[in-house]
Amino acid sequence: MRGLLQSAAAALLILLGAHAASAQIYRLRRDPPGRGSVELGGGVMWASGFELGTSAAQLTRSGQQRTFDLFSAEGEVGGFPGAHARVGVYLSPTISLEAGFRYARPQLAYRLSGDAESAPEETATEIINHYVFDGSLLVHFPGAAFASGRGVPFVSGGAGYVRELHEGNALVETGNEIHLTGGIKYWFGTRGRRVGFRAEAGISSREKGFDQQEGRRLQPLALAGMTFLY
Amino acid sequence: MRRSVFAFAFAILLVWAASPLLAYLKLGTTTQTRTVNLRWNAFPIRYFITDRGAPQVTSMQFQSAASRAFATWHAVETAETSSEFVGFTRANPVTGDGMTVLGFTSRPDLDRVLAATNFRLDTSTGEIVESDIFFNTATSWAVDPAGVTGRHDLESIAVHEIGHLLGLSHSAVGETEVIPGGRRVLGAESVMFPIAFAPGTIHDRSLKADDVAGITDIYPTTSSHRSRGSISGRVTKNGNGVQGAHVVAFNPAAGTLVGGFALNESGAFTIAGLEPGIHLLRVEPLDDGDLDSFFDSTFVVDLDFRVRFHDQVVVVPAGGGVRDVEIRVTPK
C-alpha cells in the first residue's frame, strides 16, 4: 500500500515539473535517513580572527590635557584552525538535531607600542584553549540535491557554551555563541548506513569568554570532515 | 619587650628609612631575622585632629577633609580598614605620645615638604601602634570642592598621607621630567606617587587601581583572597637579577596600571592585589623620582637597563598567582 502511494506521488510530481521530479527520483533511488537515524561526524574547523581593539595605558595629568599616554596595546586573535566532532539524530528525513564539540588553540597577541620612554615595540602572545559545546538544528534540502542525489544541501543553526582556558590553565573564562551555517553532505553510498563528506560555512556570534568586548562579536566559521550515517 | 622606632614618610620628599626588602609598595621594617610589613592590627584607627587651623582652612574644615580622606580608603571593597574621629586636641602631630594625630604644623625648614607621616610601631611584628601626620603651613592649602588655583588641595594630600598611615609606601606609577630645582609630574596613576600634582589639582582625592591593589595586599578581605591574584617573577640582565627595577602590570580590559619593584639582588618582584585577567608587563629603571623617595640609602638600585615590554601575555588567576615570570632586559 505504501509503495503504491509513493508511486502515485512520484507520478504526480513528475507532472508538476522537472525539478520536483528529480527530487522524487532521488527519494526513490536512495534510502533517506529516517526518523531515529544517527549521524556521527568529525573533522577540522577554521574560525576567522578578530581584533580586540586598542587600549591605552594612561596616566592622569594635572594640566588641561587630562591624560598622558604611557603606551598602547593593540590586541588581536589570529584566525585559528581546530577540530570538531558531532553526533546527530534525525527527527525526520529532512530535520536532525545535533550536539557538537569544537576545540581550537587560538593565539592572542597584543602589540605594544608608542611607549613614552621609547621602549622597543613588542608583541606579547598567549595560546588559549578554546572549547565550544553546542547544539544545532539541521534542515536538509533533498529537493535541491545534486550529483545524482549524492550531494544534499543543508542549513544549521544553534547555540553553544564557550569555555576558554588561558595558558597554564590559570584562568577559565566562559561565554556563549550562536551560529548559523550552510553546507553540503556528499554521500558515498546509497544504503541506510553510509559514509560521506560534510562541509559547511557560516557565521558564529560569540559573547564574553576571554573577549571582554561589550556585546556580540561575529566570526566567519568553516567546518569540514567525514560523516557517518547509521 | 616591645621596642619602638620612628620612621617618616613625606608627600614630596621621602626621608624614612624602612626596609625595602618587602613587597612592592608596602612599608616594612627589619627584625633581627626577617622583614615584616607595617600594618595596623586594631581597628578602627582612633585619630585626633589638632585644633589649630591654617590660613584659609579652619580646624573644622581640616577635620572634614581628613574624614573624607579616611573614608576614601575605607571604601575600598577588597580591603578591610576603618577609623574613628575621636576629637580635637592640642597635641602636636609629630610627637610619639600614644595618640594618632593629624594637624597643621609650621615647618619652614621643610619648604618642599607638603606633609609627612610618622609612625610608632612594634618592630618585632610591624604593628603600627601610633601614626601622626603633619601638614606643613609653609604651603598654601585649600578645601574647596573644586580646588583653588595656586593652593594645594588638603583632601588630596590627606589621601596620600593616610595611605602611608595605613602602611603603604610610595608608588612609581608615574612619569616626571626634570626641571630646574626638581621634577615636574607629567602624569601619575597612583595617589601614592611621591611627587604631588600642581597646586589646584584635586585628582588625588580618588584612588587608582595601584592604590587599591596596595591596600588590598595589606588588608585583604576574606573574599578578596579568592577574587584577587598576583604576578611574581624576576627581572634579569645577562642572567643576573636587576635590583630596584620597576615593573608595571597593565590590564588592557580595565585600562588599569599597577606597579611593583624588584626588591632583591635576584631581581624578584611580586605585584599583588590584581584583578583576574590578562595583564601586559612593562619594566623600567626607577628614574621618575628621587631614589630616596622609595628606598633607603643602603639599597642599590640598578638603573642601567632599557625600558622594555615582556613578550608574554600574563594571565592572573582569581585567588592565586602567576609565578616564575622572567623579564629579560638589556643594558643601556
pTM: 0.86
CB B25 within 8 A of CB B259: yes
The structural domains of chain B, with segments of one domain joined by +, span: 4-214, 228-329
* Chain A residues with CB-CB distance to B252 below 8 A: 52, 55, 73, 75, 110
State the complex-level ipTM.
0.88
What integer is the mean pLDDT of B179-188? 85
Share of chain B above pLDDT 70, in %: 90
Rounded to whole angstroms, the Cα distance separating B220 from B24 reads: 16
Q: What is the CATH number of domain A34-229?
A: 2.40.160.20
Give the number of residues written for chain B. Answer: 332
Instruction: Tell me phi and psi for residue B110, to 5 degrees.
Output: -110, 60
Tens digit of pLDDT for each residue in A104-152? 999 999 999 999 999 999 999 999 999 999 999 999 999 999 998 899 9
- The rounded Cα B211 to chain-centroid distance in angstroms is 7
Q: Domain B4-214 has what CATH class? A: alpha beta
Q: What is the CA radius of gyration of chain B?
A: 19
Q: What is the largest CA-CA distance in chain A?
A: 91
Q: Please, are residues A216 and A29 in contact by the beta-carbon 8 Å criterion? A: no
Q: What is the pLDDT of residues A161-174, one digit of tens each?
A: 999 999 888 889 99
What is the dotted CATH code of the domain comprising B228-329? 2.60.40.10
Q: Among A55, A63, A124, whose Cβ lies nearest the Cβ of B309?
A: A124
What is the distance between the alpha carbons of residues B163 and A43, in angstroms, rounded to a whole number?
Answer: 58
DSSP B271-318: EEEEPSEEEEEEEE-S-SS-GGGTS-TTSPP---S--EE-SB-EEEPT
3-state SS, A149-212, equals CCEEEEEEEEEEEEEEECHHHCCEEEEEEEEEEEEEEEECCCCCCEEEEEEEEEEEEEEECCCC
Q: Do B186 and A59 touch (CB under 8 A)?
A: yes
Q: What is the mean pLDDT of residues B157-178?
A: 93
Question: What does the alpha-carbon distance between residue B116 and residue B93 come to, in Å, rounded to a whole number?
Answer: 10
**How many percent of chain B have pLDDT more than 90?**
69
- Which residues does B71 contact at the CB level (< 8 Å), separation at least 6? none
Average pLDDT in chain A: 87
Question: Which of A61, A73, A210 shows the shortest C-beta gap to B280?
Answer: A73
The answer to whether the Cβ–Cβ distance between B313 and A52 falls below 8 Å is no
Q: Is the pLDDT of residue B2 over 50?
A: no
The residues spanned by each domain of chain A are 1-30, 34-229
Characterize the bridge pairing of strands B321-329 and B229-237: parallel
Are B175 and A75 inside 8 Å of each other by CB? no
pLDDT score for A31: 66
A118:B320 CB<8 A: no
Coil vs helix vs strand at B234:
strand
- 3-state secondary structure string across chain A: CHHHHHHHHHHHHHHHCHHHHHHHHHHHHCCCCCCCCEEEEEEEEEECCEEEEEEEEEEECCCCCCEEEEEEEEEEECCEEEEEEEEEEECCCCEEEEEEEEEECCEEEEEEECCCCCCCCEEEEEECEEEEEEEEEEEECHHHCECCCCEEEEEEEEEEEEEEECHHHCCEEEEEEEEEEEEEEEECCCCCCEEEEEEEEEEEEEEECCCCCCCCEEEEEEEEEEEEEC
Among chain A residues, CA nearest to B322: A170
pLDDT digits (tens, 9 = 90+) for A36-76: 999 999 999 999 999 999 999 999 987 666 899 999 999 99
B108 close contact with A: CB closer than 8 A: no
